[in-house]
């Protein structure tokens, strides 16, 4: 890929290979790594969007945390891709996912000035 650093290419290969293997033990830390290190916001955001629907709660939660890292790093995200996914995750049956969604919602509101719909505390 022209204009893409060797480090970025290596990260992309690792992520693509991990997606193929679909091992939660590998994906759980890797989603955070790509959110913190990738120079390509749209690609990293797309990866997080895919992984926030993963069958494993820790992968889902870390993908939501990835959105927060990307918001802080780049100061922008695709509203249509991210906002609803975070709002849905606020209702996830797993506490870890809900906690990561709450944290991500806080960061999206802080860094991107978004307003997210949150469940009432009593409704959970």
All structural domains of the chain with their residue ranges:
6-110
Burial tier of 41 (Cβ tally within 10 Å: 0-12, 13-18, 19+)? middle
Span 92-121, average pLDDT: 95
Span 34-39, average pLDDT: 97
- The answer for residues whose C-beta is within 8 angstroms of residue 118's C-beta and 6 or more apart is 87, 90, 102, 105
Q: Quick check: 108 and 67 in contact, CB under 8 A? A: yes
pLDDT of residue 121: 58
pLDDT above 70 coverage of the chain, percent: 95
pTM for this structure? 0.93
Tens digits of residue pLDDT in 68-88: 999 999 999 999 999 999 999
């Amino acid at each position: 890929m022209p204009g893409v650093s060797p480090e970025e290419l290596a990260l992309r290969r690792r992520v693509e290979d991990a997606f193929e293997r679909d091992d939660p033990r590998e994906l759980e830390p890797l989603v955070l790594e790509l959110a913190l290190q990738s120079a390509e916001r749209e690609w990293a955001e797309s990866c997080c969007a895919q992984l926030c629907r993963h069958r494993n709660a820790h992968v889902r939660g870390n993908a939501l945390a990835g959105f927060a890292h990307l918001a802080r790093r780049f100061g922008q995200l695709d509203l249509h891709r991210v906002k609803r996914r975070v709002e849905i995750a606020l209702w996830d049956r797993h506490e870890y996912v809900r906690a990561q969604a709450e944290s991500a919602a806080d960061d999206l509101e802080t860094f991107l000035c978004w307003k997210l719909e949150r469940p009432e505390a009593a409704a959970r």
